[in-house]
Structure 1
Amino acid sequence: MILFATLFGSLLILLFIGVPVGFAMIGASSAVLLYTRGLDGLPLDMIAQRTLYGVNSFTLLAIPAFLLIGRLMNASGISDRVFDVARSLVGHMRGGLGHVNVVSSMLFAGMSGSAVADAGGLGPVQMKAMEKDGYDRGFSAAVTAASATIGPIIPPSIPAVIYGALANVSIAEVFLGSIVPGVLMGLGLMALVAIISVRRGYPVAARASAAEIARAFGRGILPMLTPVIIVAGILSGLFTPTEASAVALVYCMIIAFVVYRTVTFREFWQILKETAVDTAALLIIIAGSALYAWVLARYQVTGDITSFLSETVTDPWVLLILLNVFILIVGCFIDSVPALFLLTPILVPLVQSYGIDPVHFGVMMIFNLMIGLVTPPVGTVLFTVQKVANIPFGTLIREIMPFYIPLFLMLLVITFVPWVVRIVPDLLLR
């Protein structure tokens, strides 16, 4: 228990005083090694080796590729094309642009794999159109923030790549297991939008004609083929998820530079620099989490936690309830990607000891952490949308409160109905 308190206590202290997550995990791991081996026996060579080992992974090459794809999509004007496609399909419903907001986020999710990319890239297009048609700015911002969380659920997904690499499970299975939850999540948000729109009397637009739908699809079909290329390539065995990210990146570059010609080389150079900075920040977290996971295993901390819980919790469903509460709390204070690096090495061995499918648990944990993106006090997506919408933070919180209902209901479905996650992987891979 002293090791447990040293490892987690020092981590919490470092995070509380503002140390970046990656360096905090390295510091907490070093604190345990210092406590057990002393200053003279501190294995500096092992610390260096384990941190470098964490980033020496072919699978993790998919992360900078997907980050670059998301930035290219935003810079090439694809957001407007995707929005037009969604508008032609569901814009005629009561509160149509609210539904368009959700559907366009679902379509964009298959390209960017990031909630922040969705909120920052597609969000301004969505909110501007909604405000122009008479929707409250707070409601527009709330729908945008809630629907942006679909980004890392529907594949491709950066959190799914990270989880698969850390948990040593098939990234393809995590991708496919996220499809049905992502679609159900979108439908749940649309149901709430419909209820609010009826109560507030939001407008109904004219139904798009077949020619208008065809024209919108003609403008947006090329970028929307990106997830099809990724998933079809993985399922057919043509390439791995990492290779799929590279193929999708080349495809997006062809669209941006050759077909649409909306990105200049100067803009592309800026995109590359921004992607490099984001990737470097993630690699530091990955390196720190590798050392942290090694210390957990070296001193059998995970085994001690498992032994303690097995004596007090015997039902796997009760365990999942407790873990959901724990992950929700963590997600409120730590961003989703650092939280994945922090929690996966600890929780995956635990749930496997209870016979819980790691793919099912992975989708549940990713979905849970996505709720944290729209939950104070950290809420990265909340602050992104609040900045774009230029509204008081309290107004955004008040408007987004009802949207927690479908999000939490979907979390319960994913937790207690595992076939929602397993149905597509079992159907296509087995």
Structure 2
Amino acid sequence: MVKTGAIYRSLVLSVSIASQSAGVNTHVLSRTVIAVKNAVMRLVGLLAVVMLVFESALLFTGVVFRYFLHKPIIWSDELAQSVFIWLCMFGAALALDRHEHMRLTAVVTRFSKRAQHWFETLGLLIILLFAAYLIGPGFHHAGGQMVVTSPALNIPDGYRAMAIPVGMCLFAFIAVSHLLTHSRWQDILSAAAVIAVVGYALWFFADFLYDIGNLNLIVFFVLVLGACVMSGVPIAFCFGIATLAYIVNIAEVPPSIVVTRIDEGASHLVLLAVPLFVVLGVLLQISGMARKLIDFMSSVLGHIRGGLNYVLLGAMFLVSGISGSKVADMAAVAPALFPEMKRKGADENDLAALLSATGAMTETIPPSLVLITIGAVCGVSISALFIGGLVPALVCTLAIALVCYLKSRKAAQDTRERARAAEIGRTFLWALPVLVLPIIIRVCVVEGVATATEVASIGIVYVIIYAVIMQLAIGGLEKSRIYPMLVEATSLSGAILLIIGVATAMAWALTQSGFSTTLVDFMTHIPGGVFGFMTVSIVLFVILGSVLEGIPAIVLFGPLIFPAARAMHIHEVHYAIVIILAMGIGLFAPPLGVGFYSASAISKVNPDKVIPKMWLYLAVLLITTFVIAFVPWFSIGFL
């Protein structure tokens, strides 16, 4: 131990002396690294924006040719999916360089500034380790996909899959550049030593961890994952390094499986709705439509204390389920409404908490991909699920509205006098185009004009036409904001999509461990009859929702658990609605819920400040879920 400490101190001293003697050379190196990194990221940003614009145009063109010209473009989805994974990785790289990946910093900020810099260095080294470990498997995966050709375009799939190793190279490059320009050598060496010790301990005790069975999940997905989260490491890379550590030491499968799972999770075409809805929100701000909507809602509800919170609730209810993704639902609403709501005096952290709460409860509103998936894999009538999901969503909305009312009574938010009828009428006419937009989106999906993925492109074209007309009529369009906001949209989208992709890899690891089978066996033998089964189901799916996306969890656990529910004579529609609500709570429950960090990212706030404001909303939603669980009429009363 003494020798090790002496060696370490000698190494640190040598590096320090070398750094001091280098002097100007070190400064020149830092400037060179920064210049190269900035040039690379400008190119990445430009490519990402071009891809985003291209995706929007491609999907809208596909809608026009298929629905209006009756000449579908059979290769459009293939091309869109190929470009999408590149957009995802480039956006995630932009987010990493811009420090826009979501992370939990509540613990780290309690330390000194020097300790915070050390934790930042630790995080960069973990990112570097994760990315560097997957570069080789990523290129191997892409090479293997070269023999697979797309049906319509007849292009090797390896060109699409190549996005992941290229993204990993970008992550590693950004991490190294930040380490060289912002971290002290002493911090780099000490943080690397900590990582090496933990890695060696996991390797040394691998046989013991393997022998204790699923208890080893506590080590990897509670201790390692929790330590990374508390250290302020970006959430996506926390998920990734914990999964990679489990697979390397326990799972006896090649690391390339992480690459394939990330590829699968981040390549799901329906997730393309996320960046498109982010762009839609950007355009709503730039065009002024969001401001006109808020002015109208404010004229109607502005004299009511906390009235703008009800506007957010109503907006989420209108657009929920359209894209099949809670993240896309939030991305469609928050960027459009939040700037004006903040200007009206609303607290941004409470708005993020309210956005999370609404996201947690709106997945039962049709059309929803989770409802469709659970109907398909569990043999439940999808039309019955569509009917059964409306009343529970309304009950949850009323419960959250009650919380908003009670909080508004104590809030110091400014109010104003009731608007005159003339003002309401004037603001209504100005807001009519944006009020029509949710109706257009929903009708296009329900009537089959566009898929859940394509519908955002219709909204984008609609807003662009509106903006052009307004520019010709009255001017005022801030064209200089368009490109920077598109770059910001790609960065935000990449950060969210990387979390989803890596969470898919973690979900696979949990499934392959046999944890799901053990859990289901436990549930079928719990005491308490229906009451006990429903209680455990709610708790279980809250936990699952915190680590899994809704669709993977349903696909994995639905076919196993639903037979047990039917054996206990629980109505399948009722049970489906309850577990969807429970998963929603888990998905938006800090500190692990992916949806919570997505909502914070979309809201552009620090998640640490949102957490204290989340608990009341989550508690009310949990109580409401139990009420719905033990009063089946809410789910099946109109069947």
Q: TM-score, normalising length from structure 1? A: 0.69
Match of 1:283 in 2: 497
Rg larger in structure: 2
Q: How does 1:185-196 map to 2 (within 5 A)?
A: 185-192=396-403, 194=405
The offset of 1:291, in angstroms, is: 3.0
Q: How much is the aligned-residue C-alpha RMSD, in angstroms?
A: 4.9
Query: Aligned pair 1:16/2:226, yes or no?
Result: yes
2:431 to 220, 244, 250: 220
> Contact 1:64 / 1:275 at 8 angstroms: preserved in 2?
yes
- Aligned-pair distance for 1:76? 3.6
CA deviation digits over 1:14-44, x for unaligned, max 9? 3223254444444444444444565xxx424
Check the 8 A contact 1:69/1:249 in 2, yes or no: yes
Contact 2:388/2:635 (CA < 8 Å) preserved in 1?
yes
- 2 CA distance for matches of 1:190 and 1:417? 21
In structure 2, what is the equivalent of residue 238 of structure 1?
Answer: 449
What corresponds to 1:122 in structure 2?
337
From 577, 585, 602, give the equivalent of 1:368: 585
| Paired letter, 1:212 | E
Superposition deviation, residue 228 in structure 1? 1.4
Moved more, 344-353 or 13-22: 344-353
When structure 1 is superposed on structure 2, of 266-275 and 119-128 the one drifting more is: 119-128
Q: How far apart, in 1, do the equivalents of 2:576 and 2:279 lie?
A: 26
SS at match of 2:268: coil
Cα deviation for residue 236 of structure 1 reads 1.8
Query: Whole-Å Cα distance in 2 between the matches of residues 374 and 32 of structure 1?
Result: 21
CA contact (8 A) 2:492 2:602 kept: no
Contact 1:113 1:156 in 2 (8 A): no
Match of 1:211 in 2: 422
2:506 is the counterpart of 1:292: yes
Tell me, what secondary structure is at the counterpart of 2:525? helix
Contact 1:156 1:227 in 2 (8 A): no
Give the aligned partner of residue 267 of structure 1.
481
Task: Give the stretch that moved more between structures: 365-374 or 199-208.
Answer: 199-208
Shift of the alpha carbon at 1:149?
Answer: 3.2
What residue identity is the alignment partner of 1:102?
A: Y
Residues 310-367 of structure 1 deviation map (CA, whole Å, 9 limit, x = unaligned): 1225745434433544566788xx6x9x765886666545543434547514640354
1:304 aligned partner: 518
Q: Superposition pairs for residues 131-142 of structure 1, below 5 Å? A: 142=350
Q: Indicate whether 1:99 and 2:313 are aligned.
A: no
Contact 2:541 2:582 in 1 (8 A): yes
**Distance between the aligned counterparts of 1:267 and 1:109, measured in 2?**
29
Q: Whole-Å Cα distance in 1 between the matches of residues 635 and 580 of structure 2?
A: 7
Q: Structure 1 residues 316, 345: closer, same or farther in 2, change over 3 A? A: farther
Q: Against the structure 1 CA distance between its residues 365 and 403, is the aligned structure 2 distance closer, same or farther, given a 3 Å change threshold? A: closer
Q: 1:272 is aligned with what amino acid?
A: L
- Residue number in structure 2 paired with 1:318: 532
Give the C-alpha shift of residue 283 in structure 1: 3.2
Q: Does 1:50 align with 2:268?
A: no
SS at match of 1:312: coil
**TM-superposed deviation, 1:306:** 0.5
CA distance in 1, matches of 2:260, 2:587: 32
Mark the CA change 1:52 to 1:369 in structure 2 (over 3 Å): closer, same or farther: same
Question: How many Å separate the matches in 2 of 1:91 and 1:367?
Answer: 30
Match of 1:63 in 2: 274
Q: Report the CA distance shift for 1:10/1:403 in structure 2 as closer, same or farther (over 3 A).
A: closer
Paired residues of 2:274 and 2:331 also in contact (CA < 8 A): no
Higher relative contact order (CA 8 A, sep 6+): 1
Q: Partner amino acid for 1:227?
A: P
Cα displacement string for residues 51-91 of structure 1 (whole angstroms, at most 9, x for unaligned residues) = 32333322222222223223333444333322222233334
User: Higher mean Cα deviation, 42-51 or 104-113?
Assistant: 104-113
Unmatched segments (≥5 aa) in structure 1? 132-136
Q: Deviations over 1:112-153 (max 9, x none)?
A: 95558866763453354358xxxxx7xx97578436632565
Q: What does residue 352 of structure 1 align with?
A: 562
Partner letter of residue 451 of structure 2? T
Give the Cα separation in 2 of the matches to 1:199 and 1:27. 43
Write the distance in 2 (CA, Å) between the matches of 1:315 and 1:327: 18
Deviation at 1:276, TM superposition (A): 1.9
CA–CA distance in structure 1, aligned partners of residues 519 and 307 of structure 2 = 44
SS state of the match for residue 321, structure 1? Answer: helix
How far did residue 267 of structure 1 move?
2.3
**Contact 1:360–1:422 at 8 Å: present in 2 too?**
no
Q: 1:367 to 1:50 in 2, by over 3 A?
A: closer
Answer whether contact 2:371 2:386 (CA < 8 A) is retained.
Answer: no
Distance in 2 separating the partners of 1:24 and 1:400: 22
TM-score, structure 2 length as denominator? 0.50
In 2, Cα distance between the equivalents of 1:417 and 1:198? 30
Residues of 1 paired with 2:364 and 2:302: CA distance?
26
Residue identity matched to 2:521: S
8 Å contact 2:361–2:585 — kept in the other structure? no
Query: 1:236 and 1:384, CA in 2 relative to 1: closer, same or farther beyond 3 A?
Result: closer
Matched, 1:150 2:358: yes
